Amino acid sequence: MSSARIIDGKAVAADLRAELAKKVADLKSQHGIQPGLAVVLVGEDPASKVYVRNKGKQTVEVGMHSVEHKLDENTSEADLLALVQQLNNDPAINGILVQLPLPKHINSELILNTIDPDKDVDGFHPTNVGRLAIGERSLVPCTPTGSIILAKSVQPDLTGLDAVVIGRSNIVGKPVAQLLLRENCTVTIAHSRTRNIQSVVKRADLIIAAVGIPEFVRGDWIKPGAIVIDVGINRIEKPDGKTRLVGDVNFDEASIVAGSITPVPGGVGPMTIACLLKNTLEATLMQKGLPSA
Ligand code: NAP
């Protein structure tokens, strides 16, 4: 039986998109500016195709200009670099996203580092990583931003909380830890070499799990009343041979103990595209010398 408040990521994401649509409309009417997002897809990866389609659809729905570049699997690194440069120089494009994974013959790091940091809506460019670390205005990776928005949807002021992030990847663990510091949390980052991880997690008022191991965090690791944000997306096989998605937290156990918890699916996942659009608006404002909306 679940006693935790279930944090509805779909609803929070829908609210964020509605808020963005209003801000985009204001930007158009007051300054004649329409933010533009370009998404580049190389190859035929079915999951990536679905992501790109959803990104394009939601970009248009909030009133932004959407451009999709679908390139053949055999596109050369030089041709992809040339496209990124062209988008860097295109004034109608404020945000550039190159969908990962890229085919093996292309150096992903080289491509991502070629994106103009001011248009880097994924927030992966070293310049943006550095800006986040020193507390400058920057474009912040989308999933970490979404995780913080969800935590703040149940507790608007996170000041002073003991926060434990499980995972130290560049795309989730490290940036989410930086954002928690910015929110005045006391932050611990746990990882595969952490000793006695259960007792580390048990201290936390706020847990952000980004491990990539199905149902890794058990109910008895959680302090009663804690906020639990589950970033994990893992597909596991059920006894009947079908598959289902689970997070990095054992939801059935955790939801008895936690104060609030994100489900998988329907928690952090839906926030990612909404935060990409938030970044596209922020990138536009930064490029035009306007304050954050
Ligand atoms: P990753 O790059 O594989 O990083 C996993 C992290 O977990 C590493 O830092 C690793 O530690 C740590 N870890 C592994 N085993 C551990 C253990 N036994 N105990 C403690 N820590 C352990 O994964 P990621 O890209 O950050 O993604 C994490 C999860 O989030 C995945 O399930 C992924 O699918 C999901 N995800 C979801 C979204 C979304 O939109 N919702 C977006 C991105 C990722 P070491 O550094 O010591 O190896």
pLDDT tens digit sequence for 177-194: 999 999 999 999 999 999
Domains observed in the chain: 32-120 (3.40.50.10860), 141-261 (3.40.50.720)
Best mutation site among 176, 191, 193, 207 for ligand 1 pocket (most ligand atoms within 8 Å of CB): 191
Among candidate residues 116, 118, 120, 122, the one labeled active-site is 122
Angle (deg, nearest 10), helices 271-287 and 9-31 = 20
At 1 the pLDDT is: 63
> Which atom number of ligand 1 is nearest to the Cα of residue 172?
26
Atom number, ligand 1, closest to the C-alpha of residue 193: 47
Q: Which of 13-17, 48-52, 72-76, 140-144 has the lowest mean pLDDT?
A: 48-52
Predicted local distance difference test score (pLDDT) of residue 2: 73
Query: H/E element holding 230?
Result: strand 227-230
φ, ψ of residue 189 to 5 degrees: the values are -110, 115
Q: How remote is the CA of residue 110 from the centroid of ligand 1, in Å?
A: 23
Q: What percent of the chain has pLDDT over 90?
A: 99
Out of 58, 99, 119, 174, which one is annotated catalytic? 99
Separation of CA 64 and ligand 1 centre (Å): 32
Catalytic site includes residue 55:
yes
99 is catalytic: yes
177, HSE (Cβ side, Cα atoms, 13 Å): 19
Residues 6+ apart with CB under 8 A from 18: none
Q: Is the CB of 231 under 6 A from ligand 1?
A: yes
Contact (CB, 8 A) for 247 and 209 = yes
26 is catalytic: no
